[in-house]
């Protein structure tokens, strides 16, 4: 998880870097392209004789439309300024948009207006017109004043369009000051068109603040006095001189400023005029016009000319500026959303493939990404994970690039138009360019973010509010209509969320695959990715289909907080998806229903000890929730146009639920890791929990399932009960002494054969254990009975079955025989030694049930014993050195022969040990000693942490035996050394590697060392040891037992029962018998060193299946009856 | 992802290199900006100086300025020469007759013709355009061949400027290129060319008639604009033929042109073709009647009011009736209960204006 959060950190940094690089490249392109556009325009129009248009009767007619709302203070002067424009074929339409002041009265008086009958054709629907005025004075014949009810700027412009007679319309803000030749210059591009129709044209807008204005004309240009104005002056230069010119040249312009822009009226009418529902009506209209032209497959251009034609006052108050930028952002979002169909749609050419994506990714997302960057910077700062040299370099680079861009814009402006030519103004502008990133840019970004916030707050309601509307419409409808309406409404609401959720889920799958590639890149191959993707896709479609049904039902019953519920549930689902695959990648175990077999305290201990609870990881998890919740919340505001998409999604999902088709490759012949890596972790989690729930709560279903798996055979009440007839296999290998020898089980946590044996594929990292093999009986092919620790004690001590979720998980243990109670019965002192809390996995319960004499666990240790290093203050318990020392001390004081069971701890995840550095070095030394190939050495190094812990226990065992050998009781003690299972964190070559553990019986009593190659298991230990003590030392042992194993000489051979294996507390899929391994219904032939190859033999498969099923039926009996043997058998033995 | 394998240290180094590059660029832009600022300031001073010299020469003859050593010195500066050329082009429209002759003398005395030729023969389109402009302004007849060559230039700016230049230099003869012109003439270009033609002779009418049947629709429109400008009545029938042209805008232009050259048959022809035309053409025909003020077509107008449904046509018709003072018919129409509400509003407006 820590590595994972580091990965996320790197991904975040790179995403921002890539985004910055994209911006850098785009702005570089804009700079270069704008230079060309400006040069072309200025060079080619330098000697244009605009007077030609001014006087020519063939010049196109223009209608200026200027909406006015409460402009009474300035409107008379503004209109006078418009009337002084040089253009013959012109009408000026002032639309008084229901002003509350005396605008209309002032105009009537100033221009001698009279109400006239006007033949108006309302092509675009608008608010009602009160009256249309024209002047009685012929000097003002160009002027038309329309008085209407208030409807907003777009509505007023639409009225103007309806009233206008010109071929082209020029929409302006009434308070703008136009250059007198503005229309001449604006008309030229329209007159210049040939093959491509010019549909809209804009000019450069400049700031009028602090300029000297006489009679509605700018006579002296000055920079604004206030810095806020200057920043905006710079912004306008960048936007108009660079941005718009470049996009105009590239035929990608989609914004003609609402303050001043000319449009082809015919096309505007065809497109329906301005949209009064949007606040960004200027941009929206241009996009709609372009969209129309693309759909009609007509050639067209949207142009911007670089002449400064219009002067406008910009806000010099920060509050007004914020409102303005807020509105611009809302306008952008509205337009992008309204025309979302265009996004990356090749049908719309450059508009769909370049312009709209550019606006989405850089104009809309730009401020949001920047804001997110600030947030992430603060998070990184709090976590102290900022690399300051990198940060400062990047920061200075970003700021410098911004300054460069601004200065470049000033230079081009100077070269092309020379608006600001005074040296002082230029120097101030350069100073402004330097200060702008620090004092202005951030405010604009924040205004943009608040625009986004307002967009949702004001324009859209939460689902439950929409719901009220839906319910109201359903009243008085028939039941069927209501159901139908419910389904359609639900599907339309559900579809956007479902699709985004699916995208997020699949994006996470991509992350999962990437993470596996990073962590296990040498082992993973393409089929895994394919399977992972397909299995998850199928799963999420199935899941969404099921969820849709729940959703529809909740809508039907009128659940009020549906959106909140679904967003929360889906966000948590995504979070848990990450947790599930991280759990797998860390432990190589799939998390299933077994998670519920741990108590709250146990889970707490596991999580704390793993070091996962830290601020960084919590923040990381919160980040994932945000990552899911934000887009889900965003999309929850919208409905799909119809229910078809949702219906298709659900239909597909339900078909996949019903059809048993498998779409993935078979990777079963590889190791378990591959098959587990390639499946949906969520599917596994749900499946195991579902099955477990059924098993727990519907006993009949379980019995039915088991009993329908083959020929029903009645095993009686106690199917595991049998006569004790185990051969004394061990006796011949030991020297006999005059008293029964002590017995010590050393069960090493996670000790797999792969790294503790000369034939292990990782290498032998237990040199001391290996040295013991020369004096021991050694089983090379021993199997544990589970993939986790939970079954090791019942298997070794009692050769016991699993019951439902492991023998120790039972609330009450059924009476049975095991080494503990039999040894106690034969006068031995027994003990259990564990460095952690023995309550874990109910080990303490079991030992107390067996009445062991010495139960040593966490509570029994004190200083100076050392705990394992803690992560975040939580440690699994005391180190192995401490545990083994306790064994030495306790046995020294023993007054009777003893039988002890020791379970070590250090080789458990997170593999933290005391003296880590020393053992890390030992691993390096060992790798050299083993003379591994380069690849093998690389593989070993990748598990350094785990191998260091293995070398630690090996070292601890050496010290333990060194001390023991000096004691008198050593000579009459038998040590059984084995592992509880192999570490899942270390890669498995074959399925059985998970269970392949060493088994060494070491004792000074061993006559001669010997290695056995037959397959045995932990089940075989208790029978063989019991037979040995009974035969050699006259132990009283029961005549009837419930051992699964038949002894170390029989093991998994055809004479035995076979070895059932449970991987986790809910996974019972493996069975080994007579040289074959049945795993999840797939048969494998076991060859040398427990490696495997797929086998298709039906008869063998049937045989193993039958035996495995028999075991399961017997186990089911145990679950049903909660008894292994009659009480009388048990009590008779102990009472006699 | 290969990115994640790049060490942060290396990334920092790469960003530092990029930062240095950006800083160098900032310095370069500042230096370049400063030089441009100086150039712009100089340009304004030079421009004033040149204009002063030109004015002086026009009034006092060219001799004195030739003695100005400072001015001579400046002429060695390429930027100064550029400004000089610009001033000459700008002065072209301001001076005529002898004054323009002085300009030409200055042009040759200071060997600016050499620079103009260089520009004309350059491979840079902006230089070509500038070269053509100065040759046109200075009326350099020797440059006609080269400019004619530019008529076939692939760049629209160059060939458009060449078209204008050749017409300026050769008059109507210069329009010969229209005979084989395949590329469209923009409205702007048509306006410039039309403005450049000052006079026409009868012999030119044949060419105009020929252009009326040109495949290039913009050539037809240009020819119509010439007919309008010079009111060439003799081509009336050729224009009438255009009323069958497939392109609606050619027909509209033809009707507009007929307004300037109409005769006794024009109206009948238009009324005859009326029923089969698109609404836009119908509106133009009604406007034509409006401008002629021919009341004899009253019944035709009233029929339109009964038959047509297009509001734009109806507005024109009502306005026409209003112009002809036929309020009685409008009042009768206003009482029709089946009348479209939009038309009723238009009629009421017309009746209201009478009051």
A677-706 pLDDT per residue, tens = 888 999 888 888 887 777 666 666 656 555
| Cβ within 8 Å of residue A768, ≥6 positions away | A954, A955, A957, A958, A961
**Chain B residues inside the 8 Å CB shell of A413:** none
Q: Is A156 found in the same domain as A272?
A: no
**Does residue A908 form part of some domain?**
yes
Q: Are residues A375 and A486 in the same domain?
A: no
Choose, out of A305, A397, A516, the residue to mutate when testing the contact with B (most B CBs < 10 Å).
Answer: A397
In a domain, A25, yes or no: no
Q: To which H or E segment does residue A1082 belong?
A: strand A1082-1086
Spatial contact of A642 and A636, defined as CB atoms under 8 Å apart: no
* Category of A1122 on φ-ψ map: left (φ > 0), alpha (ψ -120 to 50) or beta: left
A1055 shares a domain with A1078: yes
Predicted confidence at residue A712, as pLDDT, reads: 52
- Identity of the residue in B4, B22, B130 whose CB atom sits nearest the CB atom of A404: B22
Q: Which residues pair with A200 in a beta bridge?
A: A263, A302
- Token pair 């549930």: residue: A569
Residues A984 and A1103 in one domain: yes
Q: Is A1016 in contact with A1048 (CB distance < 8 Å)?
A: yes
Q: Tokens for A866, please give them.
A: 């050392």
- Shared domain for A497 and A364, answered yes or no, is no
Q: Which domain holds residue A235?
A: 180-386+417-460
Which of these three, A155, A175, A195, is where a domain ends? A175
Residue A697 is assigned to a structural domain of this protein: no
Asked if residue A9 belongs to a domain, the reply is no
Cβ atoms of A300 and A350 closer than 8 Å: no
Strand partners, A783: A996, A1017
| DSSP reduced 3-state for A96 | strand
The pLDDT of residue A4: 60
Check CB contact of B93 with chain A, cutoff 8 Å. Answer: yes
Using CB atoms, pick whichever of B19, B86, B318 lies closest to residue A393: B19
Contact A463, A563 (CB under 8 A): yes
Nearest to B33 among A39, A46, A414 (CB): A414
* Residues A729/A1024, Cβ–Cβ less than 8 Å: yes
Beta strands A973-979 and A742-748, pairing class: parallel
pLDDT at B55 over 80: yes
Return the pLDDT at A291.
95
For B258-304, the pLDDT digits (tens) are: 999 988 899 999 999 999 899 999 999 999 998 888 888 888 888 88
Return the top range by mean pLDDT from A39-43, A289-293, A456-460, A804-808.
A289-293
Residue in B closest to A7 by C-alpha:
B4
Residue A55: CATH number of its domain: 3.90.550.10
**Which residues of chain A does B18 touch, with a Cβ-Cβ cutoff of 8 Å?**
397
| 3-class SS letters over B231-280 | CCHHHHHHHHHHHHCCCHHHHHHHHHHHHHHCCCCHHHHHHHHHHHCCHH
Does A891 map to a domain?
Answer: no
User: Between chains, do B318 and A116 touch, taking CB under 8 Å as contact?
Assistant: no
A121 contacts in chain B (CB < 8 Å): 311-312, 315, 342
Chain A residues with CB inside 8 Å of B315's CB? 119, 121
Interface test with A, best of B4, B23, B29 (most A CBs within 10 A): B29
Whole-number pLDDT of residue A699: 61
Q: Are residues A910 and A795 in the same domain?
A: yes
| Contact call for A117 and B353, based on CB within 8 A | yes
Which helix (H) or strand (E) covers residue A881, if one does?
helix A880-892
* Contact with chain B for residue A514, Cβ under 8 A: yes
Residue A118's closest chain B neighbor by CA?
Answer: B349
- Is B15's CB within 8 Å of A394's CB? yes
Chain B nearest CA to A408, separation (Å): 6
Q: Do B19 and A39 touch (CB under 8 A)?
A: no
Separation of CA B86 from chain center: 21
CB count in 10 Å sphere of residue A933: 9
Domain count along chain A: 4
- Within 10 angstroms of residue A1055's Cβ, the number of other Cβ atoms is 11
Phi, psi (rounded to 5 degrees) for A417: -125, -20
Of the candidates B4, B16, B318, which has its C-beta nearest A10's C-beta? Answer: B4
Residue B3, pLDDT > 50, answer no
3-state secondary structure A843-879: HHHHHHHCCCCEEECHHHCCCCCCECCCECCECCCEC
Per the structure block, which two tokens stand in for A610? 């793993």
Query: Does pLDDT of A1024 surpass 90?
Result: yes
Residues A955 and A983 in one domain: yes
**Residue A884: closest CA among A745, A741, A743:** A745
Specify which residues A1060 forms β-bridges with: A1071
A61 touches chain B (CB under 8 A): no
Tokens for A816, please give them: 């049975």
| Contact predicate B72/B106, CB 8 Å | no
Please tell me if residue B157 touches chain A, with a CB cutoff of 8 Å. Answer: yes
Tens of pLDDT, residue by residue over B108-124, are 888 888 889 999 999 89
Q: How confident is the model at residue A430 (pLDDT cuts 50, 70, 90)?
A: very high
A232 and A109 co-located in one domain: no
Instruction: Give SS3 for A217.
Output: strand
Taking an 8 Å cut-off on Cβ atoms, the answer to whether A43 and B32 are in contact is no
Q: Range with the lowest mean pLDDT among A207-216, A948-957, A1020-1029, B342-351?
A: B342-351
Does B30 sit within 8 Å of A393, measured CB to CB? no
Distance from CA of B12 to the nearest CA of A (A): 5
Both A757 and A906 in one domain: the answer is: yes
Q: Is residue A783 a contact partner of residue A1018, using CB atoms and an 8 Å limit? A: yes
**C-alpha–C-alpha distance, residues A158 and A124, integer Å:** 6
Do residue A415 and residue B352 have CB atoms under 8 angstroms apart?
no
Which of A175, A194, A214 lies at the terminal end of a domain, its last residue?
Answer: A175
The answer to the question of residue A704 being in a domain is no
pLDDT tens track for A334-387: 999 899 999 999 999 999 999 999 999 999 999 999 998 888 888 778 777 778
Nearest to A853 by CA among A829, A873, A827: A829
A372 in the same domain as A251: yes
Phi then psi for A570, rounded to 5 degrees?
A: -70, -35
Buried b (16+ CB within 10 A) or exposed e, A889-923: ebbeebeebbbbbbbbbbbbbbbbbbeeeebbebb
Tell me the nearest-neighbour CA distance from B67 into chain A, angstroms: 31
Q: Is the pLDDT of residue A463 over 60?
A: no
Q: Average pLDDT in the A70-90 region?
A: 89
- What local confidence, expressed as pLDDT, does residue A713 receive? 61
Q: What percent of chain A is predicted at pLDDT more than 90?
A: 47
pLDDT of amino acid A613: 62
A594 neighbors A1064 (Cβ within 8 angstroms): yes
Which token pair is B109? 């005395």
- Asked whether residue A320 falls in the same domain as residue A421, the answer is yes
Query: What gap in Å lies between CA A147 and CA A132, rounded to an integer?
Result: 6
Share of chain B above pLDDT 70, in %: 96
CA closest to B1 among chain A residues: A514
Residue A284 lies in a domain: yes
pLDDT band at A483 (very low <50, low <70, confident <90, very high): confident
* Boundary (domain end) residue, out of A150, A175, A200: A175
How many beta carbons lie within 10 A of that of residue A354, not counting itself? 17
Question: Strand pairing partners for A1084?
Answer: A1077, A1094
Provide the CA A653 distance to its chain's centre, in angstroms: 22
Look at A58 and B191 and tell me if their CB atoms are within 8 Å.
yes
Q: Do A415 and B36 touch (CB under 8 A)?
A: yes
Distance from CA of A263 to the nearest CA of B (A): 17
Distances (CA, A) of A497 to A494, A639, A820, A1093: 6, 9, 59, 46
Q: A525 Cβ partners below 8 Å, 6+ apart?
A: none
pLDDT at residue number A612: 62
Predicted local distance difference test score (pLDDT) of residue A471:
46
CA distance A54 to A867: 95
Chain A residues closer than 8 Å to B90 by CB:
47
Can you give the pLDDT at residue A711? 52
CATH number of the structural domain spanning residue A957? 3.40.720.10
Binned at pLDDT 50, 70 and 90, residue A460 comes out as very low
User: To which H or E segment does residue A477 belong?
Assistant: none
Rounded CA separation A178/B106 (Å): 38
pLDDT above 80: residue A132: yes
Q: Are A875 and A869 in contact, with CB atoms under 8 Å apart?
A: yes
Chain B nearest-CA distance from A115, in A, is: 11
Say whether B33 and A423 touch across the interface (CB within 8 A).
no
- 3-state class of A1042 per DSSP? coil
Nearest CA-CA distance, residue A397 and chain B, Å: 5
Indicate the SS3 state at residue A107. helix
Task: Work out the average pLDDT over A1020-1048.
Answer: 93
Are B12 and A39 within 8 A, CB to CB? no
Range 109-138 of A in CB contact (< 8 A) with B: 116-121
**In chain B, residues 120-139 whose CB comes closer than 8 Å to chain A:** 126, 129-130, 133
According to the 3-state scheme, what is the secondary structure of chain B? CCHHHCCHHHHHHHHHHHHHHHHHHHHHHHHHHHHHHHHHHHHHHHHHHHHHHHHHHHHHCCHHHHCCHHHHHHCCCHHHHHHHHHHHHHHHCCCCHHHHHHHHHHHHHCCHHHHHHHHHHCCCHHHHHHHHHHHHHCCCHHHHHHHHHHCCCCCHHHHHHHHHHHHHHHHHHHHHHHHHCCCCCCHHHHHHHHHHCCCCCCHHHHHHHHHHCCCCHHHHHHHHHHHHHHCCHHHHHHHHHHHHCCCHHHHHHHHHHHHHHCCCCHHHHHHHHHHHCCHHHHHHHHHHHHHHCCHHHHHHHHHHHHHCCCHHHHHHHHHHHHHCCCHHHHHHHHCCCCCCHHHHHHHHHHHHHHC
CB contact under 8 Å between A14 and B3, yes or no, is yes
Nearest-CA residue of chain B relative to A518? B1
Q: Cα B323 from chain centroid? A: 34
Q: Which residues pair with A971 in a beta bridge?
A: none
Q: Which residues pair with A1010 in a beta bridge?
A: A777
**Of B12, B37, B184, which has the smallest distance from its Cβ to A393's Cβ?**
B12
Tell me the count of A-B CB pairs closer than 8 A: 121
Tell me, yes or no, whether A356 and A268 share the same domain: yes
Distance of CA A49 to the CA centre of its chain: 63
What's the distance, CA B210 to chain centroid?
A: 22
């Amino acid at each position: 998880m820590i590595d994972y959060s580091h990965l996320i950190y790197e991904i975040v940094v790179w995403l921002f870097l890539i985004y910055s690089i994209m911006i850098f490249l785009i702005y570089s392109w804009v700079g270069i392209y704008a230079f060309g556009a400006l040069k072309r325009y200025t060079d080619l129009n330098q000697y244009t004789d605009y007077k030609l248009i001014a006087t020519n009767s063939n010049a196109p007619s223009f209608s200026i439309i200027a909406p006015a709302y409460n402009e009474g203070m300035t409107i008379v002067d503004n209109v006078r300024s418009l009337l002084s424009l040089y253009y013959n074929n012109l009408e000026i339409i002032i639309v008084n948009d229901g002003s509350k002041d005396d605008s209309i009265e002032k105009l009537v008086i100033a221009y001698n207006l009279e109400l006239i009958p006007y033949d108006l054709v309302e092509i675009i629907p608008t608010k009602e017109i009160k009256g249309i005025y024209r002047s009685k004075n012929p000097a003002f014949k160009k002027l038309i004043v329309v008085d209407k009810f208030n409807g907003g700027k777009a509505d007023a412009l639409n009225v103007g369009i309806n009233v206008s007679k010109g071929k082209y319309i020029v929409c302006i803000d009434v308070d703008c000051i136009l250059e007198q030749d503005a229309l001449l210059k604006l008309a030229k591009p329209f007159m210049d068109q040939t093959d491509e129709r010019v549909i809209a044209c804009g000019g450069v807008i400049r700031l009028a603040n602090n300029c000297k204005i006489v009679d509605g004309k700018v006579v002296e240009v000055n920079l604004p006095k206030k810095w806020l104005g200057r920043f905006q002056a710079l912004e306008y230069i960048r936007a108009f001189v660079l941005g718009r010119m470049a996009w105009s040249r590239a035929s990608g312009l989609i914004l003609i400023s609402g303050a001043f822009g000319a449009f082809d009226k015919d096309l505007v009418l065809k497109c329906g005029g301005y949209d009064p529902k949007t606040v960004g009506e200027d941009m929206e209209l241009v996009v709609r016009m372009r969209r129309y032209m693309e759909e009609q497959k007509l050639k067209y251009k949207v142009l911007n000319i670089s002449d400064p034609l219009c002067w406008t006052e910009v806000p010099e108050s920060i509050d007004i500026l914020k409102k303005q930028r807020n509105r611009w952002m809302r306008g952008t979002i509205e337009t992008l959303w309204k025309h979302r169909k265009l996004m990356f749609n090749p049908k719309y050419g450059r508009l769909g493939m370049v312009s709209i994506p550019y606006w989405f990714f850089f104009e809309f997302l730009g401020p949001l990404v920047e804001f997110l960057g600030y947030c992430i910077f603060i998070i990184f700062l709090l976590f102290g994970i900022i690399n300051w040299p990198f940060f400062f370099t990047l920061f200075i680079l970003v700021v410098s690039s911004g300054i460069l861009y601004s200065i470049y814009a000033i230079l081009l402006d100077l070269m092309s138009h020379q608006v600001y030519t005074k040296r002082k103004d230029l120097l101030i502008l350069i100073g402004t360019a330097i200060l702008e990133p620090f004092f202005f840019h951030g405010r604009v970004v924040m205004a943009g973010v608040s625009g986004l916030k307002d967009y949702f707050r004001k324009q859209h309601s939460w689902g439950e509010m929409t719901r009220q509307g839906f319910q109201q419409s359903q009243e008085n409808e028939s039941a069927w209509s209501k159901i139908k309406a419910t389904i359609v409404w639900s599907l339309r609401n559900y579809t956007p969320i479902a699709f985004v959720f699916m995208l997020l889920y699949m994006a996470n799958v991509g992350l999962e695959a990437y993470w596996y590639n990073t962590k296990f890149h040498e082992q993973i191959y393409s089929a895994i990715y394919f399977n992972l993707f397909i299995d998850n896709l199928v799963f999420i479609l199935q899941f969404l289909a099921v969820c849709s049904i729940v959703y529809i039902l909740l809508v039907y019953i009128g659940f009020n907080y549906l959106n909140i519920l679904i967003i929360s549930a889906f966000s948590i689902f995504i979070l848990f998806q990450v947790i599930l695959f991280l759990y797998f990648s860390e432990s190589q175990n799939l998390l299933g229903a077994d998670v519920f077999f741990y108590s709250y305290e146990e889970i707490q201990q596991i999580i704390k000890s793993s070091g996962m609870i830290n601020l960084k990881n919590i923040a990381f998890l919160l980040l994932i929730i945000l990552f899911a919740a934000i887009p889900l919340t965003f999309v929850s505001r919208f409905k799909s146009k119809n229910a078809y998409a949702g219906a298709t999604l659900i239909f597909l999902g339900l078909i996949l639920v019903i059809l048993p088709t498998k779409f993935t490759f078979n990777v079963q012949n590889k190791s378990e890791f591959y098959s587990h890596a390639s499946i949906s972790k969520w599917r596994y989690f749900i499946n195991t929990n579902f099955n477990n729930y059924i098993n727990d709560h519907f006993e009949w279903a379980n019995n039915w399932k088991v009993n329908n798996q083959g020929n029903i055979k009645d095993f009686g009440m106690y199917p595991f009960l049998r006569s004790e007839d185990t051969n004394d296999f061990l006796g011949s290998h030991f020297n006999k002494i005059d008293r029964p020898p002590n017995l010590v089980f050393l069960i090493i946590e996670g000790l797999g054969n792969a790294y503790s044996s000369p034939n292990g594929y990782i290498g032998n990292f237990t040199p001391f254990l290996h040295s013991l093999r020369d004096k021991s009986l050694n089983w090379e092919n021993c199997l544990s009975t589970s993939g986790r620790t939970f079954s090791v004690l019942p298997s070794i001590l009692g050769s016991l079955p699993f019951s439902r979720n492991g023998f120790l998980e039972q609330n009450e243990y059924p009476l049975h025989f095991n080494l503990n109670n039999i040894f106690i019965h034969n006068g031995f002192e027994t003990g259990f030694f564990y460095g952690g809390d023995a309550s874990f996995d109910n080990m303490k319960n079991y030992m107390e049930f067996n009445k062991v004499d010495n139960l040593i666990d966490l509570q029994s240790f004190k200083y100076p014993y050392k705990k394992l290093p803690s992560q975040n203050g939580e440690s699994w318990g005391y180190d192995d050195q401490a545990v083994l020392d306790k064994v030495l001390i306790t046995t020294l004081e023993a007054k009777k022969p003893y039988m002890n069971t020791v379970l070590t701890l250090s080789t458990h995840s997170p593999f933290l040990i005391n003296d880590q550095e020393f053992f890390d070095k030992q691993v390096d030394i060992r790798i050299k000693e083993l003379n591994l190939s380069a690849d093998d050495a690389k593989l070993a190094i990748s598990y350094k942490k785990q191998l260091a812990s293995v070398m630690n226990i090996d070292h601890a065992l050496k010290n333990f035996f060194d001390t023991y050998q000096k004691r008198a009781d050593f000579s009459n003690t038998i040590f059984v050394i084995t592992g509880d299972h192999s570490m899942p964190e270390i890669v498995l070559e074959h399925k059985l590697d998970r269970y392949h553990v060493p088994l060494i019986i070491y004792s000074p009593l061993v006559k001669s060392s010997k290695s056995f190659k037959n397959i045995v298991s932990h089940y075989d230990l208790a029978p063989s040891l019991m037979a040995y003590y009974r035969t050699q030392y006259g132990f009283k042992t029961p005549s009837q037992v419930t051992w699964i194993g038949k002894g170390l000489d029989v093991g998994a051979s055809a004479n035995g029962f076979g070895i059932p294996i449970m991987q986790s507390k809910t996974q019972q899929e493996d069975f080994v018998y007579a040289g074959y391994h049945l795993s999840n219904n797939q048969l494998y032939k076991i060859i040398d060193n427990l490696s495997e190859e797929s086998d298709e033999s039906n008869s063998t498969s049937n045989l193993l299946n039958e035996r495995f099923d028999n075991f399961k039926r017997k186990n089911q009996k145990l679950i049903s009856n909660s008894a292994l043997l009659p009480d009388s058998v048990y009590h008779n033995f102990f009472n006699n | 992802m290969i990115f994640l394998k790049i060490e942060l240290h290396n990334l920092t180094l790469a960003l530092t290199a990029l930062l240095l590059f950006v800083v160098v660029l900032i310095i370069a832009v500042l230096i370049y900006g400063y030089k441009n600022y100086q150039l712009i300031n100089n340009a304004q001073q030079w421009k004033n100086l040149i204009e002063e010299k030109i004015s002086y020469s026009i009034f006092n003859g060219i001799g004195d300025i030739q003695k100005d050593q400072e001015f001579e010195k400046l002429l060695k500066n390429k930027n100064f020469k550029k400004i000089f050329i610009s001033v000459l082009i700008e002065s072209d429209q301001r001076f005529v007759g002898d004054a323009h002759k002085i300009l030409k003398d200055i042009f040759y005395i200071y060997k600016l013709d050499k620079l103009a030729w260089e520009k004309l023969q350059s491979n840079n389109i902006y230089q070509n355009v500038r070269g053509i402009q100065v040759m046109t302004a200075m009326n350099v007849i020797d440059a006609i061949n080269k400019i004619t060559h530019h008529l076939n230039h692939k760049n629209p700016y160059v060939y458009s400027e060449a078209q204008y230049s050749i017409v300026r230099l050769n008059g109507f003869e210069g329009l010969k290129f229209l005979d084989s012109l395949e590329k469209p003439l923009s409205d702007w270009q048509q306006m410039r060319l039309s403005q450049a033609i000052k006079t026409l002779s009868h012999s030119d009418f044949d060419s105009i008639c020929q252009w009326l049947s040109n495949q290039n629709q913009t050539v037809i429109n240009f020819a119509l604009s010439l007919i309008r400008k010079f009111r060439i009545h003799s081509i009336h029938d050729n224009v009438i033929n255009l009323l069958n042209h497939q392109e609606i805008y050619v027909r509209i232009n033809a009707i507009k042109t007929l307004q300037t050259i109409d005769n006794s048959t024009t109206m009948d022809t238009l009324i005859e073709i009326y029923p089969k035309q698109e609404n836009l053409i119908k509106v133009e025909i009604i406007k034509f009647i409006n401008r002629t003020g021919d009341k004899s077509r009253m019944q035709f107008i009233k029929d339109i009011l009964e038959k047509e449904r297009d509001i734009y046509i109806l507005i024109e018709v009502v306005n026409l009736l209003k112009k002809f003072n036929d309020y009685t018919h409008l009042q009768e129409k206003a009482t029709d209960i089946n009348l479209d509400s939009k038309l009723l509003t238009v009629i009421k407006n017309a009746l209201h204006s009478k009051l």
